Amino acid sequence: MGKIAFVFPGQASQYSGMGKQLYDNYTIAASLFKKADNVLPFSISELCFLGSEEELKLTEKTQPAILTVSVAVYKVLESLGIEPDCVAGHSLGEYSAIVAAGGMKFSDAVQVVHKRGKFMQEAVNVGVGSMAALLGGSLEDIKKLCEEVRGSHVLTTANINCPGQVVISGHKEAVDMAIANAPKIGVKKAVILPVSAPFHCDLMRPAQEKLKIELNKINIRDLKIPLIANYDAEFTTSSEDVREKLIKQVSSPVLWQDSVEKLISNGVDTFVEVGPKKVLSGMIKKISREVKIYHVETPEEIEKFQEIYKSLRRK
């Protein structure tokens, strides 16, 4: 019998109205939103259900919003007896994965990702940094391109998502220079990402130091379910390892393709994206055509997956 991995989305999966159906249909989800409302300096419920796209793009609000919706979906699945064999999350999504694996209390996680977003935003003045997705071209060529054009600036691969999709991050001038030269190495398209800071590069070091202080205040427990970490695409269940990798993750590349390939090589043949939108599902499809991929967010999708899960576990 193949294994099931639950994967949790990161930034760029947010949209206005997310989580409302969960809130209306499941008491366990509603209580989670209320918990977040009580521990944060603003209302997550209001932000998710009624917030403007602009407001939802603010990193310090995006991060707790996506985490709340993702964990709410997970809690509903868990209450129905649906559990994964392992978990992973893309950048911010790693916190949702850790909550699902029993490593962190939701109330701690939602507060720390709010601060994480704030620290990442504050690390670089608006307009100084940038991120771009390069579509097409090989990873090695993109790494070489970054080395060639960066000069005295910071420029690096930030998200290695799937074949033909690598995100670069750093100083705006260096990112623009890389985009201008990208067609020479076979990149078909470059898309500037609508983010408010250059994540997963050395410009995030100040945020990393501040986050370290916050994470050291939190009780992180050993995980009940193995996690594949973004930082090194390796399995872990150790609380100290989890803490260390969450700290390093802030200024290091997200090794998403490596993580998915590692899961597959360890027997995972079913991926379930838990949370808003289907960003990760699209990436996984490009990494492997052999695996089954499901997206679960709405009551309808939860109900449908409940039946699928029974048949998967019967095999």
Q: Does 143 lie in the same domain as 81?
A: no
Q: Does 213 lie in the same domain as 188?
A: no
Residue in 13, 45, 70, 91 annotated catalytic:
91
Is 64:108 a contact under the CB 8 Å cutoff? no
The pair phi, psi for residue 165, each rounded to 5°, is -140, 105
Indicate if 90 belongs to the active site: no
The pair phi, psi for residue 168, each rounded to 5°, is -110, 155
CATH of the domain at 159: 3.30.70.250
Indicate if 200 belongs to the active site: yes
Which range of residues forms the domain containing residue 180?
129-195
Q: Does 180 lie in the same domain as 305?
A: no
Neighbouring-strand partners of residue 86 = 5
CATH of the domain at 229: 3.40.366.10
Q: Does 150 lie in the same domain as 79?
A: no
Residue in 90, 114, 171, 200 annotated catalytic:
200
Q: Does 158 lie in the same domain as 96?
A: no
Query: β-strand 129-136 against 165-171: which pairing, if any?
Result: antiparallel
For 261-307, the pLDDT digits (tens) are: 999 999 999 999 999 999 999 999 999 999 999 999 999 999 999 99
For 71-91, the pLDDT digits (tens) are: 999 999 999 999 999 999 999
pTM for this predicted structure: 0.97
And the tokens for 290?
Answer: 């052999």
The pair phi, psi for residue 166, each rounded to 5°, is -125, 135
For 115-155, the pLDDT digits (tens) are: 999 999 999 998 899 999 999 999 999 999 999 999 999 99
Q: Does 169 lie in the same domain as 77?
A: no
